[in-house]
C-alpha cells in the first residue's frame, strides 16, 4: 500500500514523545516538515523547541532523548541533531524501494487512478459552492476561476475519500427577470404555449435588447415590474416563461461545463430557497438575532463596523418586506447543514465578497446551527486580468464571454501544435486531423485551467495566452508533454507499460533514481496538504518538480539508461519507475481537471 511518509513519521514520533515524556504530553503533526534544503535530509522534526517550553527542558536534551527513542530503522538512516534541537532524517533506499514496489497495478475500470492510496481519518460530507453564474446573462471570464478552482478542490476532496456535492448557486431570481420575461413575451410569444421551443442564440444580446426596452419605454418598464409581482406571486403563466428562459440559459452554461469536463454540478438556484426564507428569518428572530433598523430586519454582529465605527447591519429583510441575498445565503446554509448533512461548506467566491462571507459565517456560528465540528470556509480568489494588467475586457471595452475565451485558447493551441509538427518525440510522425483536434482541445483547455490553478488563489494574475501555451516552465503543455513523452518511451521500446509485472521489485540506487523516488512518495502528502489548506497551486508545483526529476532521471548524461539497461531486472525496475511517474502525473492532472494525451 502506497503510504503517506509524513503520517508514518508522525505516528512514530508521537509514540516516542508519549513514551519518553508521558501520555499527556502534547504533540503536533505540524512539527514534521520536509527539509527545505536536501543537503540537511528529507524531513525534519522541529518539536523539541515547543516541547521545551511545556516540559521545562533544554531543546537539545529533548532532541537527544527522542533520537534514541524513536524507531525509524525501517524508514531512515540514523537521525542527525542540528542547531538547538532539530532532528533531520534521510529516507533509506530500501524504504523508497518498498514504498514504490507496493503501488498496485492501475485499475482500468476506475474513474481515476488512486495509485493504491488510502487516507486515514473520518470522511466528511462537503458542499462546494462554485461557479454560480447569473442566468440573466451569459457566463463571462469572471466565472472561470470559481468554476476551475471549485472543480479541482472537489476532485481532490473526493480523491481523499470525502463525499462532495458541487452546488451551482445560480442567480435565477430578482427584478431583472421581470424585464427578461416581458421582452421574451414580446419577441417570442409562442413561448407561452410552448416553453420547450425556446432557443436563444445570444443571451447577452437578448439581455441588452431587454435592458434597452426597459430604459426607453415607461410602458415596457411598468409591464416588467408587474411581471416581477406575478413571478413572486406564483402566476403559472409567468412561471412557465421564467422556467423556459432559465432552462435555456442553463443550456448555454452546461455547454461550457461539458467542455470543461464538469459533469457533477447540481444547479440549485436562489429560487430553490424561496419557500424557506420566511422560516429561516423567523428562526433567527426567535433566537434573538434579528432586530429592526430603519424599517429593515437586520442582524448585527460583533467586530463588524462601518467606516464611522457604527455597527454594520446584515440586512435579511428589506423595509419593503422583500428578502435579499443574505437571507437566501442563510437559508442555503440551513438547508446544507440539515438536509444535505454537510460538515464542511466551502464557498469558492472572489475576494470582493470577503466581507459578506465573513458576516455570513459569523452569523451561522452565532445562530448555533453549526456545531464545533462544522467548518465554513470562504475560498477567496483574486481576479484574472488582461495581458496589460488591467481588468479583462474586449477591445470594445465589453465583458469577454467565457465560451469565446475557451475557443480562443483551443485555436491558439492548434496553431502551436501545427508549428511544432515534425519535431515530436516519435521522430516527426505526422498527426492526423482528428488527433490534432483532440490534442488542441486538451492542450488549450488544460493551459487555461493550469494557468489559473498554478497561481496563489488570493493574488490577481495576468491572462497571457503565449505564456500559458509555452512548452517550457510550469505550464500545462509542459506537463502534458512530460506525460506523453514517458508514454512514448514504452512505445519506442515496444513495451506495454500496463503489462509490466506489478510485483517486480523497484531498485533504488542511482542518485537520479533516489531523487525521482522521493518526489513520487511525496504525492500523498501533497494531497493531504491541499485537503487541509485548499491550495491547488501546491499540486501544480509538485507536478512540475516531479517532471523535472524525471527529466534528470532519463537524461543520458546525468541520469540512467532505461530501455537498454542491464540486467533485465534493472531494466524492468526503471521501466516501472517510468510507468509510476506517468501514472502520478496523470492522476495529478486529473485532480486539476486536465485530461492527458498519449501523443503530442
CB-based contacts of 227: which residues, under 8 Å, 6+ apart? 177, 178, 179, 181, 182, 238
Predicted pLDDT at 447: 97
Between CA 472 and CA 460 the distance in angstroms is: 22
Rounded alpha-carbon distances, angstroms, from residue 177 to 226, 234, 576: 11, 14, 58
- Identify whether 138 is part of a domain: no
Between CA 319 and CA 393 the distance in angstroms is: 37
pLDDT, tens digit, 9 for 90 and up, residues 42-52: 999 999 999 99
Helices (H), 502-567: 511-521, 523-533, 537-554
DSSP H or E segment with residue 43: strand 43-45
Predicted pLDDT at 359: 97
* Long-range Cβ pairs for the range 45-50 (8 Å, 24+): 45/9, 45/13, 45/86, 45/87, 45/89, 46/85, 46/86, 46/87, 47/13, 47/17, 48/84, 48/85, 48/86, 48/87, 49/84, 49/85, 50/26
Predicted pLDDT at 422: 54
* Strand-strand pairing, 296-305 and 311-317: antiparallel
Final residue belonging to a domain, choices 44, 70, 91: 91
Mean pLDDT, to the nearest integer, of 139-158? 96
Mean pLDDT, to the nearest integer, of 587-591? 98
Rounded alpha-carbon distances, angstroms, from residue 207 to 204, 245, 256, 271: 5, 11, 19, 20
pTM summary value: 0.94
CB-based contacts of 562: which residues, under 8 Å, 6+ apart? 489, 554, 571, 574, 575, 578
Do 88 and 35 form a contact (C-beta atoms < 8 A)?
yes
Are 461 and 570 members of one domain?
yes
Residue 423: band (very low, low, confident or very high) from pLDDT cuts 50, 70, 90: very low
In the numeric block, which cell numbers belong to residue 82?
A: 542540528
Tally of domains within the chain:
4
Between CA 174 and CA 324 the distance in angstroms is: 9
First CA to last CA distance, the chain:
33
Are 352 and 453 members of one domain?
no
Cβ atoms within 10 Å, residue 397: 7
Residue 425: band (very low, low, confident or very high) from pLDDT cuts 50, 70, 90: very low
Do 62 and 51 form a contact (C-beta atoms < 8 A)?
yes
Do 375 and 345 form a contact (C-beta atoms < 8 A)?
yes
* Most confident of the ranges 331-345, 377-391, 453-467: 331-345
Tell me, what CATH number does 41's domain have? 3.30.1360.70
Are 256 and 280 members of one domain?
no
Do 549 and 515 form a contact (C-beta atoms < 8 A)?
yes
Do 579 and 562 form a contact (C-beta atoms < 8 A)?
no
Are 284 and 247 members of one domain?
no
Q: Which tops the pLDDT comparison, 506 or 428?
A: 506
Tell me, what CATH number does 349's domain have? 3.40.50.620
Do 132 and 170 form a contact (C-beta atoms < 8 A)?
yes
Predicted pLDDT at 391: 86
Predicted pLDDT at 247: 96
Between CA 42 and CA 518 the distance in angstroms is: 8
Q: Is the pLDDT of residue 98 over 50?
A: yes
Are 250 and 283 members of one domain?
no
Q: Is 14 helix (H, G, I), strand (E, B) or coil?
A: helix
Q: Is 346 helix (H, G, I), strand (E, B) or coil?
A: strand
Mean pLDDT, to the nearest integer, of 95-115? 90
pLDDT, tens digit, 9 for 90 and up, residues 354-367: 999 999 999 999 99
Predicted pLDDT at 1: 53
Average of per-residue pLDDT values in the chain: 93
φ/ψ bin of 161: left (φ > 0), alpha (ψ from -120 to 50), beta (otherwise): left
Are 472 and 571 members of one domain?
yes
Are 536 and 573 members of one domain?
yes
Q: Is the pLDDT of residue 424 over 60?
A: no
Q: How many degrees, rounded to 5, is the angle at CA 552 between CA 551 and CA 557?
A: 120
Q: Is the pLDDT of residue 398 over 80?
A: no
Are 254 and 339 members of one domain?
no
- Identify whether 162 is part of a domain: no
Domain that holds residue 312: 274-381
Q: How many degrees, rounded to 5, is the angle at CA 251 between CA 249 and CA 255?
A: 120
Q: Is the pLDDT of residue 243 over 90?
A: yes
pLDDT, tens digit, 9 for 90 and up, residues 472-485: 999 999 999 999 99
Predicted pLDDT at 340: 97
pLDDT, tens digit, 9 for 90 and up, residues 530-574: 999 999 999 999 999 999 999 999 998 899 999 999 999 999 999
Mean pLDDT, to the nearest integer, of 189-193? 89
Residue 246: band (very low, low, confident or very high) from pLDDT cuts 50, 70, 90: very high
- Return phi, psi of residue 565, to 5°: -70, 150
Predicted pLDDT at 427: 42
Are 330 and 436 members of one domain?
no
DSSP H or E segment with residue 423: none
CB-based contacts of 521: which residues, under 8 Å, 6+ apart? 5, 91, 96, 99, 100
- Identify whether 42 is part of a domain: yes
Are 223 and 342 members of one domain?
no
Place of cell 501533497: 526
In the numeric block, which cell numbers belong to residue 584?
A: 502520478
Amino acid at each position: 500500500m502506497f503510504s503517506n511518509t509524513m503520517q508514518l513519521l508522525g505516528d512514530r514520533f508521537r509514540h516516542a514523545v508519549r513514551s519518553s515524556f508521558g501520555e499527556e504530553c502534547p504533540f503536533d503533526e505540524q512539527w514534521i516538515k520536509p527539509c527545505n534544503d536536501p543537503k540537511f535530509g528529507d524531513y525534519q522534526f522541529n518539536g523539541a523547541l515547543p516541547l521545551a517550553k511545556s516540559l521545562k527542558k533544554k531543546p537539545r536534551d529533548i532532541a537527544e532523548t527522542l533520537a534514541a527513542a524513536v524507531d525509524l530503522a525501517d524508514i531512515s538512516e540514523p537521525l542527525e541533531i542540528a542547531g538547538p534541537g532539530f532532528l533531520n532524517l534521510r529516507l533509506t533506499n530500501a524504504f523508497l524501494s518498498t514504498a514504490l514496489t507496493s503501488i498496485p497495478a492501475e485499475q482500468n475500470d476506475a474513474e481515476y487512478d488512486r495509485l493504491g492510496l488510502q487516507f486515514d481519518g473520518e470522511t466528511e460530507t462537503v458542499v462546494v459552492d462554485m461557479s454560480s453564474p447569473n442566468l440573466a446573462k451569459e457566463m463571462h471570464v469572471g466565472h472561470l476561476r470559481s468554476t476551475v478552482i471549485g472543480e479541482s478542490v472537489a476532485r481532490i476532496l473526493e480523491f481523499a475519500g470525502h463525499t462532495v456535492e458541487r452546488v451551482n448557486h445560480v442567480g435565477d431570481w430578482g427584478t431583472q427577470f421581470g424585464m427578461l420575461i416581458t421582452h421574451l413575451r414580446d419577441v417570442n410569444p409562442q413561448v407561452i404555449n410552448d416553453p420547450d421551443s425556446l432557443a436563444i442564440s445570444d443571451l447577452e444580446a437578448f439581455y441588452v435588447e431587454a435592458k434597452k426596452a426597459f430604459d426607453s419605454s415607461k410602458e415596457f418598464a411598468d409591464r416588467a415590474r408587474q411581471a416581477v409581482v406575478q413571478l413572486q406571486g406564483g402566476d403559472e403563466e409567468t412561471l412557465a416563461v421564467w422556467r423556459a428562459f432559465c432552462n435555456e440559459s442553463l443550456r448555454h452554461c452546461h455547454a461550457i461545463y461539458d467542455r470543461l469536463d464538469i459533469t457533477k454540478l447540481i444547479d440549485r438556484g436562489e429560487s430553490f430557497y424561496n419557500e424557506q426564507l420566511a422560516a429561516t428569518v423567523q428562526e433567527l428572530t426567535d433566537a434573538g438575532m434579528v432586530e429592526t433598523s430603519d424599517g429593515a430586519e437586520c442582524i448585527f454582529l460583533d467586530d463588524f463596523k462601518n467606516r464611522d465605527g457604527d455597527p454594520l447591519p446584515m440586512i435579511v429583510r428589506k423595509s419593503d418586506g422583500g428578502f435579499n441575498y443574505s437571507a437566501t445565503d442563510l437559508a442555503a446554509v440551513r438547508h446544507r447543514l440539515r438536509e444535505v448533512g454537510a460538515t464542511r461548506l466551502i464557498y469558492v467566491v472572489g475576494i470582493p465578497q470577503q466581507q459578506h462571507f465573513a458576516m455570513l459565517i459569523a452569523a451561522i456560528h452565532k445562530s448555533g446551527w453549526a456545531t464545533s465540528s462544522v467548518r465554513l470556509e470562504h475560498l477567496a480568489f483574486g481576479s484574472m486580468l488582461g495581458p496589460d494588467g488591467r481588468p479583462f475586457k474586449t477591445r470594445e471595452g465589453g465583458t469577454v464571454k467565457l465560451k469565446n475565451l475557451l475557443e480562443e485558447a483551443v485555436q491558439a493551441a492548434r496553431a502551436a501544435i501545427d508549428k511544432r509538427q515534425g519535431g515530436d518525440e516519435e521522430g516527426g510522425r505526422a498527426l492526423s486531423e482528428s488527433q490534432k483536434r483532440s490534442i488542441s482541445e486538451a492542450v488549450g483547455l488544460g493551459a487555461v485551467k493550469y494557468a489559473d490553478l498554478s497561481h496563489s488563489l488570493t493574488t490577481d494574475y495576468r491572462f497571457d495566452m503565449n505564456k500559458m501555451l509555452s512548452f517550457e516552465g510550469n505550464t500545462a503543455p509542459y506537463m502534458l508533454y512530460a506525460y506523453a513523452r514517458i508514454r512514448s518511451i514504452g512505445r519506442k521500446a515496444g513495451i506495454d507499460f500496463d503489462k509490466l509485472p506489478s510485483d517486480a521489485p523497484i531498485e533504488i540506487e542511482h542518485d537520479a533514481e533516489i531523487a525521482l523516488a522521493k518526489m513520487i512518495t511525496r504525492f500523498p502528502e501533497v494531497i493531504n496538504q491541499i485537503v487541509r489548506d485548499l491550495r491547488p497551486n501546491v499540486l501544480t508545483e509538485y507536478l512540475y518538480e516531479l517532471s523535472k526529476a524525471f527529466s534528470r532521471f532519463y537524461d543520458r548524461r546525468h541520469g540512467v539508461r532505461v530501455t537498454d539497461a542491464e540486467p533485465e531486472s534493472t531494466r524492468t525496475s526503471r521501466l516501472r519507475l517510468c510507468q509510476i511517474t506517468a501514472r502520478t502525473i496523470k492522476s495529478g492532472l486529473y485532480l486539476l481537471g486536465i485530461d492527458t494525451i498519449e501523443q503530442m
